[in-house]
Structure 1
């Protein structure tokens, strides 16, 4: 998977297209609200219902947001491939394009699902004992699904690499926290994070599903990283032409192994589960240690940050074993924070360099009177 000829892509869509996206997002929200309102009228007819707890308004609203979110996310992200700077997605192989659309839509929908649950749980606890009639139930479900579809359509229509990195962090953090909060075993943390995925309940299903979708999402993320790093190579800011392929391949390996952790819980096969978990950690260490060489041309302070991340990982490992200051769960939480924190900072540096390099190139072209080349991105699988 390589990207070629990435030059001077516009920062944002023209005003008419942005207005069209807003109109389409409003239409998506209105359709979602109308459809789910009708379904809610059938489900809640002839009774009063709690905001949360068992079959409730909140449960129906959360499921509605999940379903309409997937539809709105897929439609909005599919349409956004025609926006300036996104044309390269037309040249993805069909299966890669399908995975790209599915994971971006699923991540947005699950975040919306979790946020909807949180809102209704908080409302129920704030208004203890409150039950609502069919009309209020219809309104609550329609508003939740309409806002969810509107927000998701807008979000997927303006995807950038830094935004993908932030979505990945928010998705993994929110799904993990939701799984922790709903775990049936209150002592799960005395073992390890993988314990969350061993029960046959909602908490374990959410945890394992989050790992699987998160792993697939990392492979989508790798496409954008490859494109941005290729831009830096073309601009002469990175010295190694192999940097885009190396980094994107490592991210893909990490994504596949992360999905493997969710596909094979520790109670199904401990050796396979541990192989995936350890392999993902080793892949990240290879990227971290090799960064000063493969990413030569990045600012020196970025490499200082890389060595700081290595020191933190080693210190966390030492506090777990041999010092025994905290247990395996705490070490896994520390490693999780370091890995995704590094990814976020790495992408911010790459994005800043891409914008700066593009501006410098445009300035140079302007000073010589040369017309800037047309934007083109070709992703070659």
Structure 2
């Protein structure tokens, strides 16, 4: 007795990319009338891995916390200030959180199939680690500043303080594990946007009493602004995430288009523009050499963005008319705003900067989205052949 079987002929490119050997089992998932073929998952679930790496660093940090305050005979621990819960969470949370992030990221990286995918995960690891370290320190500082403002002068006995410390450290470790397991194009993009927008809006709110809009946006990062370091740090971290996102997108794409001068040029322009943004954050617009470096970085950023908008027709393979129309519309509005500011004197410098920067960053997001779609559509879609055959099945014995 025979039964009908069907075979899918998988191209060698897919076998190499997913690192599947002949005879290995794969998973076939049916969802929304689509069949998804992928390497068989490891037996150890993500939840088990997360739980293990979540508890161990939390317990170790708690032991260090207790030992520190017992050693210095501090039995009443303040929430904020010197030798406080906040100080220990920022210091130990940074060490525990980044260690947890690194271990989880590396462990998850080893389970990824495909040489190109593994290579890009290694390439962006240092940039992501530095970015998350800065973001973690920044968020923890802002959080405990708010706590200190709401609960001024509050303190706890050593055991209550340890319990609160363990709660805060647990949250830090959980978020770091979640972030390490969630690395993707959409995750990095969301992190980039939330970091940039959140930092800028926070700086604007903080300096509203100083009427920053009468100067320019760069005033938020000068010595005359309140908490200028937050604005500058936001810009710098956003630039690092931009660099990581560009690398994450282009590494697998360039593996299939190694000699495509258009993509090579576009990648260089995007990276240099991100470095220019990094310069804007690293060099505050104060007097002296810092003003020169800040201004030059800002102008270089503008030049490269305008150049990419003009040249996207030739640099992006398969560019759609819709994206071209959007690009030239955005470029036209930026040029019009520059004329209204520079020659007509209708717009203030602050208004021009905010209009130009908002439009430019929106266009960058659209460009990165089109690059991601290019990889998914052109490089990750294969035509396969389904064949039928006869397979003998064992006959039932009487």
In the superposition, the TM-score normalised over structure 1's length comes to 0.75
Question: For residues 50-69 of structure 1, what are the alpha-carbon distances to aligned partners after superposition, in whole Å with 9 as ceiling and x for unaligned?
Answer: 4x577754454344443333
> Which of the numbers 317, 321, 326 marks the counterpart of 2:338?
317
Determine whether 1:28 maps to 2:49. no
Do residues 138 (structure 1) and 157 (structure 2) align?
Answer: no
Q: Could you say which residue in structure 2 is the equivalent of 1:174? A: 198
User: For the residues of structure 1 that align with 2:107 and 2:266, how far apart are their CA atoms?
Assistant: 28
Q: CA RMSD in A?
A: 3.9
- Name the counterpart of 1:298: 319
User: Is the alpha carbon distance of 1:352 and 1:131 closer, same or farther for their aligned partners in structure 2, counting shifts above 3 Å?
Assistant: same
For the pair 1:329 / 2:350, whether they are aligned, the reply is yes
Q: Which has the higher contact order (CA 8 A, sep 6+)?
A: 1
Kindly indicate which of the two structures has a greater share of residues assigned to helix. Answer: 1
1:287 and 2:315 aligned: no
Higher-strand-fraction structure: 2
The 5 A counterparts of 1:244-283 are 244-267=263-286, 268-269=288-289, 270-283=291-304
Residues 101-140 of structure 1 mapped to structure 2, 5 A cutoff? 101-117=125-141, 119-120=143-144, 131-140=155-164
Instruction: Give the match for residue 69 of structure 1.
Output: 97
1:104 Cα deviation after fit: 0.3
Distance 1:256 1:350, change over 3 A: closer
**Aligned partners of 2:129 and 2:350: how far apart in 1?**
30
User: 1:215-234 alignment to 2 at 5 Å?
Assistant: 215-230=239-254
Alpha-carbon spacing, 1:139–1:366, altered in 2? closer, same or farther (3 Å): farther
Find out whether 1:351 has 2:377 as its counterpart.
no
Aligned partners of 2:13, 2:180: CA distance in 1, in Å?
21
* Kept after mapping to 2: 8 A contact 1:76/1:154: no
CA drift of 1:277 comes to: 1.1
Task: Tell me, in whole angstroms, the C-alpha distance in 1 between the residues paired with 2:326 and 2:300.
Answer: 23
Pick aligned residue for 1:338 from 330, 344, 359: 359
Does the 8 Å contact 1:232/1:353 carry over to 2? no
Indicate the residue corresponding to 2:179 in structure 1.
Answer: 155
1:51-70 aligned within 5 A: 57-70=85-98
1:47 lines up with 2:73 in the alignment: no
SS across alignment from 1:148: helix
Which residue number in structure 1 is paired with residue 396 of structure 2? none
Unmatched segments (≥5 aa) in structure 1: 235-239, 370-381
Gap change, CA 1:227 and 1:115, over 3 Å in 2? same
Q: 1:155 Cα shift?
A: 1.9
Match in the other structure for 2:42: 16
Give the total of aligned pairs.
352
**Where does the alignment leave 5 or more consecutive residues of structure 2 unmatched?**
1-11, 19-35, 389-398
Q: CA deviation at 1:297?
A: 0.7
Deviation at 1:258, TM superposition (A): 2.0
Change in Cα spacing, 1:303 to 1:134, as seen in structure 2 (3 Å) is farther
Q: Aligned equivalents of 2:386 and 2:379: distance in 1?
A: 14
Distance 2:387 2:310 in 1: 41
Shift of 1:365: 1.4
- Give a deviation string over 1:261-308, Cα, whole Å, max 9, x none: 233333242222211111011111111111122114133222222223
Q: Kindly state the Cα deviation for residue 131 of structure 1 after the two structures are TM-superposed.
A: 4.7
In structure 2, distance between residues paired with 1:183 and 1:85: 48
Partner of 1:374: none
Q: Which has the larger radius of gyration?
A: 2
Q: C-alpha separation between the residues in 2 aligned to 1:165 and 1:145?
A: 26
